[in-house]
Amino acid sequence: MATETTGAPSEDAIRDALATVNDPEIHRPITDLGMVKSVEIAADGAVAVVVYLTVSGCPMRETITNNVRDAVAGVEGVTGVSVELEVMSDEQRKELATSLRGGTAEREVPFAKPGSLTRVYAVASGKGGVGKSSVTVNLAAAMAADGLKVGVVDADIYGHSVPRMLGADGKPTQVENMIMPPSANGVKVISIGMFTPGNAPVVWRGPMLHRALQQFLADVYWGDLDVLLLDLPPGTGDIAISVAQLVPNAEILVVTTPQQAAAEVAERAGSIAVQTHQKIVGVVENMSGLPCPHCDEMVDVFGTGGGERVAEGLTRTTGAQVPVLGAIPIDVRLREGGDEGKPVVLTDPDSPAGSAIRAIAGKLGGRQRGLSGMSLGITPRNKF
């Protein structure tokens, strides 16, 4: 029971301050999550707060402690703050998991529900090496920097690389059967690489790949995302089919290079939308040319026109207008950012590659903000 005297802060004031502290993984106030066990206020203004951690080995315990201490210390009349940490019981964790799932204890893919407001983009390519993951990571970082709530699923199980490129070195935390994803640069991310030791390969067949993707979508607590990006493996294999089954409303974003051989394969990958009844949001041409460092002329290292060829081919195949959303030039800073975990759209947003990706992200993010698909040249596609 709180003790109040003249000059000492009230318990309501302390709890109002605690309501400004978000759990670093769930990104919601600790007061809403039932993480504040007690508040004790001494006559001299010293405050003792007991906070529940979701798990005993919580990697964010120090962050939570510091944030609680700072928030309470800012309340008028507080002369000192002590923070004690305890661990939730099994029952409390179950209640928390059920609450986060919106009152249902069963697992389901929230993005496939009829009322979902999250735009889901499945980033696909016909073959590897076209920079699909680099495009995914930078689009995510650009949209997050623009104020959207963004998540990324590294669905390229065999060739997972998103955590490194995004600079996400944290580990997921499990609360009951729910996984709290780490975040970096304002983007929540999950990858099989977070669960495998070192650089160990993943040697799985179709059913295991499907189950992994299902867990990433249903068991991870994503919160209220505006945009979810799925970085698919190249081609039209098991994962692409699983995405269509688990998130049928996902829209396909095709990444290609200008090279004719790459464009042909990319068109093949995009054509899966005819069989899965998905919409193709557009085509991104990566490595569209190399700006000469001496004369600024564009050197067509991989040829020209690949993006247009893919868009035209997919328009014919699907019967709906598929636009080219943008062309990204070759830029050493894009590669360096991927290696260092610092997306170029954040470190050098006005660079040729950074500007091009931000423009594409603006179009995709603008659709989430309620802009009509017609503004991108997209016409609604009939379901078969």
Over the stretch 226-256, which tens digit does the pLDDT of each residue have?
A: 999 999 988 777 888 888 889 999 999 999 9
Q: What are φ and ψ of residue 123, in 5° steps? A: -85, 115
* Residue-wise pLDDT tens digits, 106-142: 568 889 888 889 999 999 988 888 999 999 999 999 9
Instruction: Give the residue numbers of the binding site for ATP.
Output: 126-133
- Comparing 212 with 5, the larger pLDDT belongs to 212
Is the pTM higher than 0.75? The answer reads: no
The residues of the chain that CATH labels 3.30.300.130 are 11-88
Amino acid found at 343: P
Secondary structure of residue 132 in the 3-state scheme: helix
What is the four-CA torsion angle of 306, 310, 313, 314, rounded to 10 degrees?
-170
Instruction: Give the residue numbers of the binding site.
Output: 126-133
Q: How many CB atoms lie within 10 A of CB 5?
A: 11
* Total residues belonging to the chain: 384
Per CATH, domain 110-376 is 3.30.300.10 = no
**Please, which contacts does 200-207 make with residues 24 or more away whose CB atoms are closer than 8 Å?**
201/158, 202/157, 202/158, 202/160, 204/157, 206/238
Q: How confident is the model at residue 69 (pLDDT cuts 50, 70, 90)?
A: very high
- How many whole angstroms separate alpha carbon 278 and alpha carbon 271? 10
CATH of domain 11-88: 3.30.300.130
Q: Is 156 exposed, middle or buried (0-12, 13-18, 19+ CB in 10 A)?
A: buried
The residues of the chain that CATH labels 3.40.50.300 are 110-376
- Comparing 344 with 169, the larger pLDDT belongs to 344
